[in-house]
Amino acid sequence: MSGLRDVAVIGIGQTTFGKFPELSFIDMGRQAAADALKDAGVPAARIETAAGSRFYSDITSLQSILATLGIAGIEMTNVENACAGGSTAVRAVWKDIAYGLYDIGLVVGVEAMTRHLTKGGMLTTSDEDLDAQLGRAVPVSFALTARRLMETHGATIEDFALVSAKAHDAGALNPRAQYRKTLSVEDILASRMIADPITLLQCCPSTDGAAALVLCSADVARQYTSNPIFIRASTVLSGGLAHAQTDPTTYMVGRTAAAQAYEQAGLGPDALDLVELHDAFAPEEIIHYEDLGLCARGDGPALLRSGATSLGGRVPVNPSGGLLSLGHPLGASGVRTVCEVVQQLRGDAGARQVEGARVGLAQMLGGAPSGLEAGACGIHILTT
Amino acid sequence: MKDSDLAGAAPIQPGLFTLDGGRMTLIGGRCAACGTVFFPKPHVCLDCGGQEVIAQDLGGAGELYSFTTVHMPSGRMRPPFSVALVRMADGPLVYAPLERATERTAIGQQLQVAPLLLEAETDAPILAFQFVPEEQS
């Protein structure tokens, strides 16, 4: 990535995740953005560019949020890329700064799911989508994939429940998590069946929440902090075409995005101290281990069972509690995962701190429309 | 299901299948240049970009690749319902409803495509497709 400027994260903000029907998306977006500005020590008037992510979007959501902080008259972009929308917004501001258009910018991801009409239902692509009409909600796709993991990887339903139990172990330590309690493999398997083998507690909840970041050039970062965290890689790619996907237990886009990110960062998966990834449905975490190169193809279940991806393991995955325990406000999660990595690299993650963390990766996968293996995959790698 | 029920139904999407005396056949597309077969038929070849994609009869036979039984309403389907990924003889992997999975349902099982009537907002039902075990077809 020669010729591009280094981009730092100097401010993070995240609301508590949960069910907050009394709060609007503006309320939550404002809180996260204000917290990120305060954390950075940057006045609102300093912001030059902004990107916002919201799945259930109204017209110009970001402008409505930032107007409440007196931020207006600058370039603002609203993005939707399913669960990777937040990653896409981070990348939009990263590009603005890396390519020298602006020196400092704000990213806001937000979702008020409780207030949305589809509360309690399963996420689908659109009313017109053929597969969606025939029942292919997102968890249904992951259930079909989970069955293949059982067929080709020797994965078991206990493995899928273990992914969720691991997430809840970490989330119980996170004061901003939606669940904040541990759940056993038995609890998870005993919960209501959604799409076999996926039970309710292998699914992320509907969540209200927001997250925000202040990004800037390295020069600006030095004015505000002695400990900036740097974005070493930023990539967002569309999912591959479905007809070319020979095996649903691996994503072409997952492997390609990871390869691009490692090349940009000049490091490999062995260098990672922690990973935040898309665990909206427990079985997919095993696929992402392999696509990110945390283990060899086929070894995902063994990596999980070894404890390497638990807190205290070689490379903790989702120390925040992940989407399963922390919650998944759709448009916010891609921003929130970067917040978590920054907090970990600062050493500020409290009871869930990954000791000595210096390199972290934040990944999001979004959407499952007809004709594509996935809608989008976004990856950011950050270092101290 | 009577043929008269099927006759009044509106296809869920044009060009996905043909129905002849209750026997259903899926219609895909084959690239005239590179030969790649798709379902549904795309406007252009998604592999080589070829502009000519010819309608290809995919028949009705396929092999079960994966399946699940769903316990939540989704799209036009009402729970509980089963769905599958099915490998057609010509190659494409097709997503479709599966006649309710049982303990005997297994990956590798031979299936046959069959009509499926779905409730619609209008008076006329919607005609879609599903897979059923081969011996029942």
Q: How does pLDDT run across B94-130, given as a tens digit for each residue?
A: 999 999 889 999 999 999 999 999 988 877 899 999 9
Which member of A153, A168, A288, A328 is catalytic?
A: A328
Query: Across the interface, which of B68, B71, B128 has its CB nearest the CB of A134?
Result: B128
Query: Across the interface, which of A140, A151, A244 has its CB nearest the CB of B68?
Result: A140
> Is there a contact between A94 and A107 (Cβ–Cβ < 8 Å)?
no
Model confidence at B7: pLDDT above 80: no
Overall pTM > 0.90 = yes
* 3-class secondary-structure state, position B43: coil
- Chain B, residues 6-45, CB within 8 A of chain A, namely 12-13, 16, 36, 38, 40
| Residue among B66, B93, B109 with most chain A CBs within 10 A, to mutate | B66
Contact B72 A151 (CB under 8 A): no
Query: Across the interface, which of B13, B97, B107 has its CB nearest the CB of A135?
Result: B97
DSSP letters, A279-313, are: -SBTHHHHHHHHHTTSS-TT-HHHHHHHTTTSTTS
Q: What is the phi/psi pair of residue A190, to 5°?
A: -80, -10
Model ipTM?
A: 0.94
Q: What is the phi/psi pair of residue B83, to 5°?
A: -135, 165
Query: Across the interface, which of A133, A140, A147 has its CB nearest the CB of B70?
Result: A140
Contact A194 B97 (CB under 8 A): no
Total Cβ atoms within 10 A of residue B46: 18
- Interface check for A122 against chain B (CB to CB < 8 A): the answer is yes
> Is there a contact between A131 and A375 (Cβ–Cβ < 8 Å)?
no
pLDDT tens across A203-249, in order?
999 999 999 999 999 999 999 999 999 999 999 999 999 999 889 99
> Is there a contact between B42 and B29 (Cβ–Cβ < 8 Å)?
yes
Which residues, including other chains, have CB under 8 Å from residue A266's CB and lie 6 or more apart? A232
| Average pLDDT score over residue span B62-83 | 96
Active site (annotated) includes residue A328: yes
Distance to chain B for A108, nearest Cα, Å? 31
Distance to chain A for B4, nearest Cα, Å? 23
Model confidence at B24: pLDDT above 90: yes
* Residues paired with residue A377 on neighbouring β-strands, in sequence order: A237, A365
Model confidence at B137: pLDDT above 70: no
Q: State residue A119's pLDDT score.
A: 47
| Average pLDDT score over residue span B39-55 | 96
Query: Across the interface, which of A133, A192, A241 has its CB nearest the CB of B76?
Result: A133
Sort out which chain A residues have CB atoms less than 8 A from B65's CB and list them.
148
Query: How do strand A208-217 and strand A104-112 relate by DSSP bridges?
Result: antiparallel
| Residue among A119, A123, A140, A152 with most chain B CBs within 10 A, to mutate | A140
Sort out which chain B residues have CB atoms less than 8 A from A139's CB and list them.
72
Which residues, including other chains, have CB under 8 Å from residue B20's CB and lie 6 or more apart? none
CB-side neighbour CA atoms (13 Å) of A133: 18
pLDDT tens across A132-150, in order?
999 999 999 999 999 999 9
Q: Mark the ranges of chain A whose per-residue pLDDT is less than 70.
A: 1-2, 117-122, 124-125, 127
Q: State residue A370's pLDDT score.
A: 85
Sort out which chain A residues have CB atoms less than 8 A from B77's CB and list them.
134-135
Sort out which chain A residues have CB atoms less than 8 A from B85's CB and list them.
144, 248
**From CA A55, how far away is CA A206, in angstroms rounded?**
13
Q: State residue A369's pLDDT score.
A: 84
Model confidence at B90: pLDDT above 90: no
Contact B96 A134 (CB under 8 A): yes
Contact A241 B83 (CB under 8 A): no
